[in-house]
Every structure is written in structure tokens, then in C-alpha cells.
């Protein structure tokens, strides 16, 4: 089984990816938080993609947009940086993204999706994969979308079997993923609600044919989850502390203002506190803290 770390905006940048590679080296492929398909990359994006910041990991840039020409302009820049594959995001359910007809919002018009993929696949110098949802409002939308995806030699298709308006609530639509396995013959990757070894076993029992899994929230809540799936013991506090401290040091080296360091780490702790007793107590303290000194005292309390 191949394991992928899902891209999460504002969280899974190179600092966090490297901490996983150093302390939980079980992830086969990492995807960048989505990069806008535009004419030029920002300095922040270039830093996140830089080879020297991603030395021990297999990294795939993920692009978001709604125009083939803009995707292709960014793909050519990625080729110049040495990348061999790219992922197109048609799965982000965020309202602000969808309102711009990007992410899952682009799924509203399967014909337009087909035209875009046809041009990108024809002209891209890189292998192309797609991350998708199964529709906007109705699971029956999948049939038309599936009819599009089946036409193209994608490197792989990563399916989060929820609708856009499901966001992350409710149960993934497993029957829709089962239909996808029957209809599509490029490699399929399952993504959605794997937060424990038991969740993994349920998914792989339901779909024994799959050979790749993408995990997002589950790996942020429990960085050692893939290790546990592979038969290793749960991560102890010492390893979690070392993982955290590397992220902290990376943030201190990257961000100029202490408030930016604290803000970034607050986002990570929203998930990571689930690995500790008294989660709500510590999450409340971290949310309220305003200074790096106060933050460090709370972290010491958590790990002690």
C-alpha cells in the first residue's frame, strides 16, 4: 500500500513535511497545498517547492485553476524546477474557491472539464494526476464526471467520495467510490475519513483492489498513524515532542514575527491536541495565547 499526505492549506508546507520525513518516515508521497495557476510563482511558493527544502521526500505540486492555458504555464515552470508530475485540484470544497469556479466548483460543467483536461493532457510535459470530489450537490452527478475521467491517461485519480456541499461532514459516499473502481482503469487513490487503524481496515476491506491511500486530518491528529497501520507501536511523547520542536524551529527560521509563528502553530495544534488527554483544555489555552513565551509554557505543560 502507498500512503500519501493530503495537502492542507496553511499547514502541510515544507516545514511540516520535513518533520514527518524525519520522525514518521512512512509517507510515500507528499502533495503541496494548492498553488494558483498563474503566470508567476510567488517567492513563498518557490521556497516551498525548492529542492533544498524537500530533500528526503517525493513531492507533487498541486495546482488550482479553471483555465488550461494557465495550468500549462505553471506546469512549464514546474518542469524547469525539475518536477516530473503535477496534480490538478478539482476537490477543494471551500465556498470562496467554488465561487470562482475553481476546485470542486469546476465540476459543475463536465463538458468544460473534459475540454480543459484534453488540452492539458495533450500539451503537458509532465505526468498529470487529478484530485476530485464526486459532484456538487447530487451523487448522480458522478456518472457524467466519471465519463470524463475515463477518457484520459491520468497518472492517477485521487477521489474524495463526498460532494462539494458535503464539505467534510457526514459519511463518505462509499457506493460512489465502488462505482469508480468498476468504471475507471487508471490507478485510483482513496481519500476520506481515515483517522485510525480501524478506519483503514474498513476501507481496505471494502475495496481490496486499491493500492494507495491519501490521509489528511488523520495524520495531523496522529502523525504516527501510518506507522501504526504498518504494525509499529503508537508514537510516544518523546517522538511527538521532537516532531513538534522541529516544526517550531522551522517556523522561527521562516517567519519574521513571533505572532506569525504562534498563529501557524495554533493551526497545527487544532489537530495535534487529539493525541493528548484533556484536549479541550489545552486547545483552549493554545487558542488564547498571544506570545511565543506563553505558547512554550503551554507546550511544556502538554508534554509533561
Scanning the structure block, which residue is given the C-alpha cell 491520468? 154
Residues recognised as catalytic: 92
Task: Answer yes or no: is 227 a known binding residue.
Answer: no
Task: Give 274's DSSP letter.
Answer: G
Predicted local distance difference test score (pLDDT) of residue 39: 74
Q: Cα separations (Å) of 130 from 34, 63, 165?
A: 12, 10, 19
Asked if residues 213 and 161 have their Cβ atoms less than 8 Å apart, the reply is no
The H-assigned helical ranges of 9-64 are: 14-23, 43-49
Q: What is the pLDDT of residue 277?
A: 85
Q: Are 62 and 33 in contact (CB under 8 A)?
A: yes
Please indicate if the annotation marks 216 as binding a ligand. yes
Q: In a structure prediction context, what are the per-residue pLDDT tens digits for the chain, which is 304 residues long?
A: 999 999 999 999 999 999 999 999 999 999 999 999 987 888 999 999 999 999 989 999 999 999 999 999 999 999 999 999 999 999 999 989 999 999 999 999 999 999 999 999 999 999 999 999 999 999 999 999 999 999 999 999 999 999 999 889 888 999 999 999 999 999 999 999 999 999 999 999 999 999 999 999 999 999 999 999 999 999 999 999 999 999 999 999 998 899 999 999 999 999 999 888 888 999 999 999 999 999 999 999 999 8
Does CATH place domain 2-229 in 3.40.50.1370?
no
160 is in an annotated binding site: yes
Helical packing angle, 142-149 and 174-183, nearest 10°: 30
Residue 142: per-residue pLDDT: 96
Indicate yes or no: pTM above 0.85. Answer: yes
Give me the residue spans of the domains in the chain: 2-229, 237-303
Annotated binding residue 217: yes
Cα dihedral sign, 198-199-205-206:
positive
Inter-residue contact 17 to 5 (CB < 8 Å): yes
**Contacts of range 294-300, beta carbons closer than 8 Å, 24 or more positions apart:** 295/262, 295/265, 299/244
Amino acid at each position: 500500500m502507498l500512503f500519501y499526505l493530503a495537502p492542507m492549506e496553511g499547514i502541510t508546507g515544507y516545514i511540516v513535511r520535513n518533520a514527518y520525513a524525519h520522525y514518521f518516515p512512512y509517507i510515500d508521497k507528499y502533495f503541496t497545498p494548492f498553488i494558483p495557476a498563474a503566470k508567476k510563482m510567488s517567492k513563498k511558493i518557490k521556497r516551498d517547492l525548492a529542492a533544498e527544502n524537500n530533500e528526503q521526500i517525493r513531492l507533487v505540486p498541486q495546482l488550482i485553476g479553471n483555465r488550461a492555458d494557465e495550468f500549462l504555464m505553471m506546469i512549464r515552470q514546474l518542469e524547469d524546477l525539475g518536477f516530473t508530475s503535477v496534480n490538478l485540484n478539482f476537490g477543494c470544497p471551500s465556498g470562496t474557491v467554488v465561487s470562482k469556479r475553481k476546485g470542486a466548483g469546476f465540476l459543475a460543467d463536465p463538458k468544460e472539464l473534459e475540454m480543459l483536461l484534453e488540452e492539458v493532457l495533450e500539451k503537458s510535459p509532465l505526468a498529470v494526476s487529478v484530485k476530485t470530489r464526486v459532484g456538487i450537490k447530487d451523487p448522480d452527478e458522478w456518472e457524467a464526471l466519471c465519463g470524463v475521467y475515463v477518457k484520459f491517461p491520468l497518472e492517477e485519480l485521487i477521489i474524495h467520495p463526498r460532494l462539494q456541499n458535503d464539505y467534510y461532514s457526514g459519511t463518505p459516499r462509499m457506493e460512489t467510490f465502488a462505482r469508480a473502481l468498476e468504471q475507471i482503469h487508471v490507478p485510483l487513490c482513496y481519500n476520506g475519513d481515515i483517522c485510525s487503524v480501524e478506519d483503514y481496515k474498513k476501507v481496505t476491506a471494502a475495496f481490496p483492489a486499491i493500492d494507495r491511500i491519501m490521509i489528511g486530518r488523520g495524520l495531523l491528529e496522529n502523525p504516527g498513524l501510518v506507522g501504526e497501520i504498518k504494525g509499529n507501536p503508537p508514537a510516544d511523547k518523546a517522538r511527538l515532542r521532537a516532531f513538534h520542536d522541529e516544526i517550531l524551529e522551522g517556523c522561527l527560521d521562516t517567519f519574521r514575527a513571533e505572532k506569525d509563528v504562534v498563529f501557524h502553530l495554533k493551526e497545527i495544534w487544532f489537530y495535534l491536541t487529539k493525541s493528548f488527554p484533556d484536549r479541550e483544555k489545552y486547545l483552549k489555552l493554545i487558542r488564547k495565547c498571544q506570545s511565543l513565551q506563553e505558547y512554550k509554557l503551554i507546550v511544556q505543560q502538554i508534554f509533561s
